[in-house]
Structure 1
Amino acid sequence: MTDTKPSSMSKAEVQRLEETGSFSLTMEGAKKENALSGAGNVQLILNNETVLIPTPSPDPKDPLNLPSWRKWAILILVSIFGSTAIILSSGMGAIITAVRHSYPGEEERTNDLLTYPTLFMGIGNLVAMPLAVTIGRRPIFLVTMITLVASGIGCAFAPNLSTHIAFRNIMSMAAGQSEALCPLVVQEIYFLHERGRKIGWFVFIENVIAGIFFITSPYMVDAGGWPWWYGTFTIINVVVLAVSYVLLTETMYDRPDDATEGAVHLDFNEAGEVDPAGDMHRVIRVTTKHGNVLEPERFGPRTWKHDLQIFSIKPDWSRLGEFYMDLLRGLLIPTILWQLLLNGAFLGLYIVVTAVFAGILIPPPYNWSFKSLGYIFVGQIVSSVIFLPILGYGNDLIVKGLSKMHNGVYKPEFRFFNLIIPVIVGVVCGVMFGQAGAFPQNYHWSAIAVTFNGVFFAFLGVNVVGITYAVDAFPLKAGPFLVLICAGRGLISFALSYSVLPAVAAIGYNGTMNVESIIAGVLGLLAIPFYFLGPKIRLVAHKRLRTGGAGNDAE
């Protein structure tokens, strides 16, 4: 891998960077800045310019230096993969009746096709993500796509239910990479000030495509049978695999730890050479106004030969054990544990409404047909359209606005302001859904459809905050902490899937949704104390748990 450590830069190169728009600070200035920040706090705005965080290197092969069209291609590819992963792992509810007819005498056991995927998605994250941080994102993504294609074929041609379940579990392990690996890839090719809207686009594309196929799945099965349901998405995945081989380059890149601050710290001796013991200090920043200056003559150009390599990262197998240790460390960090529980609670709300909405809409007084159930997912497309400007672009606007109010300093806790709308919408819609389900004679069917999709909108919002906060607050531990949140909430939803119907039988739709909504609401309110305690928690985590991060010196 190319050496991009600060020690490889000369004084002349630093001066050239300064002349082209990067910033240099004196030692005193650097100390003053660090006195204002805890681990994770960074200078996002300086002299009315947005600082690029992480600091891009002069290497053309740095994924942060990819052209805009290539970044969009990668984002779209992982989004399409995410949509097929969602449909294949979570979309069988729309066609389960047709599947059950294929296994007479085993109808009850077909429920395993619905419940196991969530568990195996979590297991897939725990297996694949440590490898992704060890050997690179590209080989794991390509192997994931191959696995998804092979298991899709296996499901379509499964001779019996046991084989069908087995292939579906393998498929779900591959589909799990849509939860942590895909957001990780997106955040590695974009800067901090772009992450909210780019993750927003990822969620938007993923869920609009999934929503369309949720609606059309019953008609697809009627036309060609459920094996062709698998076949359709397998063909899509073959295309994504082929295009990804060409366009989805490796996004893992070895850069100095202090680049996560948006500032590379260099010391020089009297001879003008980089020297850790030198008494001349410089802090190099790159901003949006001037951009980054590439040095292909020094690092070599980006070539297709380089991009098409399957393995371009030298494996560091010690990272495997470190990854699992970081999962345990994450559980000891209150804000990360809270994000896990918050995501789990709002996913739990969504699990409940998806499990029971058909049982409410099919009987009187609503009398929906089975085929009509898919139309409720039109609201998911509408939710995604509303979500993108408010919680995608709005996320970044709030972050930049609050940073300007704090002398240009960004704190990851600024992301918590984006929880206000999702938490309120989720709690209100959860309670209203329960009331409409318990007393359908008093409500129009739209009370079910609107609140169903309101809960979905809330989960999307909470999900984006969890992803962006984990990456921004602990950039050096982004992979493990994303897995902790995503796999952890999957395990929570797996447990909930077995308790929903007994809970409804015991305390009714309204009682079940009230309990779920109260839990979600209380966890949402914890954003207030964590907003104030978060910087101290990050600082303690860095010192005691070795989580690393930007702005590491002091609070």
Structure 2
Amino acid sequence: MATNDSARPVDFAPGTVRLLDFDAATPGDAELVLVPAPSSHPDDPLNWSAPRKWLSLACVVLYTFSSGALTAALYSIYPDYSAATGIDIPTLNQAVGVMFLLVGFGPMLTTPLSNIIGKRPIYLGSLLLSGSISIWSVFIKSTPQWYGRCVFLGIAGGPVFATTEVSVSDVFFAHERALPMGIYIIALYLGALAAPLIGAYLAAAWDYRAVFYFCAILIYGTLAFCFVFMEETNYVRPSPLETSPAGDDSDDDHKHVDPHKIAASSHVVQVDAKRKSFVKRMALFERPGPQAWKIFKVGILQPIAFLRLPIVWWCAVMYAFGQVWFNLMNALTASILMAPPYNFSVKQVGLSYLSPMVLTIPSVIIYGYINDKWALWMARRRGGISEPEDKLSLLLLSTAIPLPVSLLMLGLPPTYGWHWAAYVVGGMGLSVLFGSLLTASSIYYLFDCYHTFRPYSYDLPTSDSPQILALLMPTMAIAFGFNYAVSPWTAGIGLRNFGISAAFVAFACAFLTLPMLRWGKALRIRDAAMYYGEGGSKA
């Protein structure tokens, strides 16, 4: 076990950081502290210029959008695709559930690999495979082929959920991360919402095959863009514990919050340091180091160890139900709107996806901005100390009542023949909006708690984010189970009772936030030993 963590006691709460330093500021002001602490080298992604950071985010966003579009391209053409392939809609849905299961477990291999050869080749390989799968979708004519397609798409789509968030946290500091993370969440939902809209018009103008050809063109275009502009964000900087003295006898209650404190105004980047050339920055992959196998083993074992943490399971439940409500809406919409009392055409079904798009995009951006400002405001009230639980109160306010009401509107309007806007706006639009906030908040909280994680042994040349892999496994298992349940759920009890039961589940899920507000920090303190390497097993 690593011994260099002696400077940090086991009762220190992971995720508790100093965002503002009043000691170094003039009276009445506070100095912004950079978390995580950057190095002084210009190649450190935290030291990149703002345009370079946002170009990196643009690559991640475009990758997420194009990959998400392929996974959702089928939703507005379910009847046409079913008729052409002879595969019934429940079977199509069940295979999509298998895809989500692979999305959760596939990154157990691809993410450790990204720590050895870099994230860039993982993204490029994922796009290459996804484009091929999109073309293959045109020629599928049997259930085994459809299941095979979904298995490969699940493997290709794993980095969309496991690697992208880490790329964002590689580049942005904690105090500015919620907004870019929110933009990533928008891309995740936008790709899944725009594809049915565009697909409906393509299918109406030509046929269902045009939808998959369009996705292939979009994915290969993204592949070309990322090949030219996406830089590697893996970077190893010294651990704060390696550069800070141990044995601080200060009586300050937060003396261990910032063992390596770097103020924003005093951070200096070495201008004369040797930088990577453009060719090296754009290399197809990084050469594996001497400890590649050790890194790979640790990358597999650490997420399993993180499953011991209650916070990871709470985040997994929140993230999962954000996905579940979105998947249920997609699975139901075409069959509801194309049947009485609405009798929508394929084009009209596609247009209905404008509702969640228009409502979700600005809302998530505003939500991310408010989260960043709220964290700084709470830190100022607490003498500069920021706690991950600060943002959970915003989640409770935004989802406890609005989300259950929106799920009611997925079941009541078609049952009682209400105007189509009740379903399209009140059901589709608002359920996706508030479900996306659930997804965003779970990621915010997870990274706020564990974004400073280093592997059990700091002598490893790189580190990963095992918390996101630990999150994905139960998340996608839950999504997988609900994909199998959607048809029996709605057919067995009817749309009205489905809406009511879904609302009660969402209400109960939202109020799981209360225990985390009360005991979240205590759980972080309790599990600090495992987090800092005193309770796990070294690979």
TM (normalized to structure 1)? 0.82
Which of 501, 522, 531 pairs up with 2:508?
A: 522
- Matched letter for residue 392 of structure 1: G
1:79 matched to 2:61: yes
**Which segment is superposed worse, 345-354 or 411-420?**
345-354
Q: 1:503 aligns with which of 480, 486, 489?
A: 489
2:263 matches 1:287: yes
2:406 pairs with one of 405, 429, 442: 429
1:515–1:346 distance in 2 versus 1, CA, 3 Å: farther
Per the alignment, residue 302 of structure 1 pairs with 276
Partner of 1:392: 368
Aligned counterpart for 2:239 among listed residues 238, 257, 267 = 257
Residue among 471, 475, 483 paired with 2:469: 483
The residue type equivalent to 2:112 in the other structure is: P
CA contact (8 A) 2:232 2:281 kept: yes
Q: Give yes or no for the alignment of 1:153 onto 2:107.
A: no
What is the identity, as a one-letter code, of the residue corresponding to 1:152? S
**Equivalent residue for 1:458?**
434
Letter in 2 for 1:306: K
Paired with 2:470 and 2:429, the residues of 1 have a C-alpha distance of 26
**Quick one: which amino acid aligns to residue 51 of structure 1?**
V
Say which of 38, 58, 63 aligns to 2:45: 63
Change (3 A) 1:37 1:403: farther
Q: 1:164 to 1:503 in 2, by over 3 A?
A: closer
Q: For residues 431-450 of structure 1, what are the structure 2 equivalents within 5 Å?
A: 431-440=408-417, 443-450=418-425
Do structure 1's residue 43 and structure 2's residue 22 form an aligned pair?
Answer: no
Task: Report percent identity of matched pairs.
Answer: 22
- Asked if 1:336 is matched to 2:318, the reply is no
Aligned match of 1:11 = none
| Cα contact 2:375–2:390 (8 A) shared by 1 | yes
Displacement after TM superposition at 1:496 (Å): 1.0
> 1:70 Cα shift?
1.8
* Alpha carbons 1:418, 1:461 under 8 Å: kept: no
Query: 1:52-451 counterparts in 2 under 5 A?
Result: 52-104=34-86, 110-111=92-93, 114-158=96-140, 162-258=144-240, 265-266=244-245, 284-290=260-266, 292-298=267-273, 300-309=274-283, 310-311=285-286, 314=289, 316-419=292-395, 420-440=397-417, 443-450=418-425, 451=427
Structure 1 residue 436: deviation in Å?
A: 2.4
Secondary structure in structure 2 of the residue aligned to 1:286:
coil
Given the superposition, is the C-alpha separation of residues 256 and 528 from structure 1 closer, same or farther in structure 2, using an over 3 Å criterion?
A: farther
Matches of 2:326 and 2:447 in 1, distance apart?
Answer: 24
Does structure 1 conserve the Cα–Cα contact (< 8 Å) formed by 2:403 and 2:435?
Answer: yes
Amino acid at match of 2:279: K
Distance of aligned partners of 1:287 and 1:369 in 2 relative to their CA distance in 1, 3 Å threshold: same
Q: How many residues align?
A: 499
Q: Judging changes above 3 Å, is the alpha-carbon distance between structure 1 residues 407 and 158 closer, same or farther for their aligned structure 2 residues? A: same
Check whether the contact 1:146–1:241 (CA below 8 A) recurs between aligned residues.
Answer: yes
Amino acid at match of 1:532: R
CA deviation after TM superposition for structure 1 residue 205, in Å? 3.9
CA displacement at 1:42 relative to structure 2: 0.7
Q: 1:277 — aligned with what?
A: none
CA gap of 1:248–1:461, structure 2 versus 1, over 3 A, is same
How far off is 1:488 after superposition? 2.5
Distance in 1 (alpha carbons) for counterparts of 2:498 and 2:89:
27
Equivalent position of 2:521 in the other structure? 535
SS at match of 1:297: coil
Aligned counterparts of 1:79 and 1:470: Cα–Cα separation in 2:
20
Q: Say if 2:379 and 2:386, in contact at 8 Å, map to a contact too.
A: yes
The whole-number CA distance in structure 2 between the counterparts of 1:328 and 1:494 is 20
The whole-number CA distance in structure 2 between the counterparts of 1:362 and 1:254 is 54
AA aligned opposite 1:540: R
Deviations 1:311-351 (A, max 9, x none): 15635322333333333333321121111112223332333
Q: CA separation in 2, counterparts of 1:423 and 1:114?
A: 29
Q: Secondary structure at 2:244's aligned position in 1?
A: strand
- Residue 283 of structure 1 deviates from its aligned partner by 5.5
Amino acid at match of 1:79: V
What is the identity, as a one-letter code, of the residue corresponding to 2:14?
A
Q: Return the letter of the residue paired with 1:435.
A: L
In the aligned structure 2, how far is the partner of 1:406 from the partner of 1:105? 59
Q: CA offsets, 1:19-52, max 9 Å, x none?
A: xxxxxxxxxxx99xx8996222111011312111
How far did 1:146 drift?
Answer: 2.0
Partners in 2 of 1:499 and 1:168 — Cα distance?
Answer: 18
Stretch deviating more after TM superposition (505-514 or 40-49): 505-514
TM-score, normalised on structure 2? Answer: 0.84
Quick one: distance in 1 between partners of 2:530 and 2:43? 35
Distance 1:548 1:181 in 2: 27
Indicate the structure (1 or 2) with the bigger Cα radius of gyration: 1
Structure 1 residue 213 displacement after superposition: 3.0
Within 2, Cα distance between the matches of 1:509 and 1:67?
52
Contact kept? 1:156, 1:227, Cα under 8 Å: yes
SS at match of 1:95: helix
CA distance 1:508–1:485, change in 2 (3 Å): same
Task: Provide structure 1 residue ranges, at least 5 long, that are not aligned to the other structure.
Answer: 1-5, 7-29, 269-281, 550-555
Q: Does the Cα contact within 8 Å between 1:346 and 1:426 map onto a contact in 2?
A: no
